[in-house]
Every structure is written in structure tokens, then in C-alpha cells.
Amino acid sequence: MRKTSVYFSDDEAGRLAELARVEGRSQAEILRDAIAGYRSRGSRERSFAVARSGRAAEGAPIAQLSEEELLRGFGSS
């Protein structure tokens, strides 16, 4: 394994920490899964999604969230 640094906004870092807490997984594991999911979708799609996350940070199943909620924060700098 190779260690790297990633810079997040306070909001992004908080969302990642909350997701890790809710799922009982490490932040690194969630990021690795997200990258694996992104890579496996091929070059046709370039949107980023958390692979196998199953639940939103609020604890609701992702399938029950609106598209607006799922996309909140993406594309902002």
C-alpha cells in the first residue's frame, strides 16, 4: 500500500468522516472503494460515486435520497 495526502474542504472532510462513522469503516477504505468504483465504470462516465456505500451519511438508504441530495457538494470548489 502507498500513502498519499488528499486535500478536502471542511464540508467534504466532515462528510467523509460521518460516512466512515455510520458505516463503521475507515475513511481510507471508503476512498479506495470509491476509486475502484470510478475506475470500473470506464471512460464514458466521469462522475464520481462512492462504491458499495449502501447508506447515506444521515443513515438513510441511498436509494431513498433525491438526486439533489446525492449531488450536493459535487463540483463545488
Give 21-54 pLDDT, tens digit per residue.
Answer: 999 999 999 999 888 887 666 555 444 455 445 5
- As a whole number, mean pLDDT of residues 13-17 equals 93
Residue environment code for 10-40, b if the CB has 16+ CB neighbours within 10 A, otherwise e: eeeeebbeebbeebeeeeeebeebbeeebee
Give 48-73 pLDDT, tens digit per residue.
Answer: 455 445 555 556 667 777 777 777 77
What angle is formed at CA 49 by the lines to CA 56 and CA 54, rounded to 5 degrees? 35
Task: Provide the pLDDT for residue 52.
Answer: 45
Query: Residue ranges per domain, the chain?
Result: 10-71
C-alpha cell at position 26: 475507515
For helices 10-23 and 27-40, what crossing angle results, to 10°? 100
> For the chain, what is the mean pLDDT?
76
